[in-house]
């Protein structure tokens, strides 16, 4: 019988790491990509006036809270444990359900939170206040 060989990956060394792992360790920053000439002309037109209204980050923050409260209690618990870094089998053990049930809860969470993976979910919830919004209430 021929011995099975491992498939060689095309990426080696530091390229082989997950491309999102460094984002979770540092806070996210917005980058202003407006053209400098356009920015100067808009500033000269509005001298002496202040912009009033909500920031887009506030709207995103409120949207996140609306999505959070649209989840069922069990889905909130699974989301919390996922964001804490637990794996599916650890979540299943802690909640007293099967691993397949946890996967099902995660599929519902992905749909309701408009994400496609655990990494995206963690990135979306990185600044969420789990202390004020206790998933076990």
pLDDT tens digits, 19-38: 444 444 555 455 555 555 55
Residue 109 lies in a domain: yes
Domain at 120, CATH number: 1.10.10.10
90-99: long-range contacts at Cβ-Cβ below 8 A with a sequence spacing of 24 or more?
none
pLDDT in tens, 89-134: 999 999 999 999 999 999 999 999 999 999 999 999 888 888 887 7
DSSP for residue 109: H
Number of structural domains (the chain) is 1
Contact yes or no for 118/107 (Cβ under 8 A): no
Residue 8 lies in a domain: no
Residue 75 lies in a domain: yes
Residue 50 lies in a domain: no
Per the prediction, the chain carries an average pLDDT of 74
CA–CA separation, 6 vs 101, rounded Å?
32
Residue 65 lies in a domain: yes
Residue 40 lies in a domain: no
CA–CA separation, 97 vs 53, rounded Å?
46
Residue 110 lies in a domain: yes
15-18: long-range contacts at Cβ-Cβ below 8 A with a sequence spacing of 24 or more?
18/119
Give the pLDDT score at 102.
96
Contact yes or no for 103/82 (Cβ under 8 A): no
Which range has the worst mean pLDDT, 7-11, 24-28, 73-77, 114-118? 24-28
Residue 17 lies in a domain: no
Which range has the worst mean pLDDT, 11-20, 55-64, 67-76, 122-131? 11-20
Domain residues for the domain of 121 are 55-127
């Amino acid at each position: 019988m021929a011995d099975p060989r491992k498939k060689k990956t095309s990426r080696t060394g530091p390229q082989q790491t997950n491309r999102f792992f460094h984002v979770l360790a540092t806070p996210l920053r917005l980058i202003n990509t407006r053209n400098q000439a356009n920015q100067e002309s808009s500033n000269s037109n509005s001298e002496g006036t202040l912009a009033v209204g909500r920031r887009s980050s506030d709207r995103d923050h409120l949207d996140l809270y609306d999505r959070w409260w649209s989840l069922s209690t069990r889905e909130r618990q699974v989301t919390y444990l996922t964001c804490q870094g637990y794996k599916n089998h650890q979540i299943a053990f802690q909640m007293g359900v099967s691993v397949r049930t946890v996967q099902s809860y995660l599929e519902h969470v992905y749909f309701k939170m408009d994400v496609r993976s655990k990494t995206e979910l963690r990135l979306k919830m990185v600044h969420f206040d789990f202390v004020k919004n206790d998933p076990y209430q």
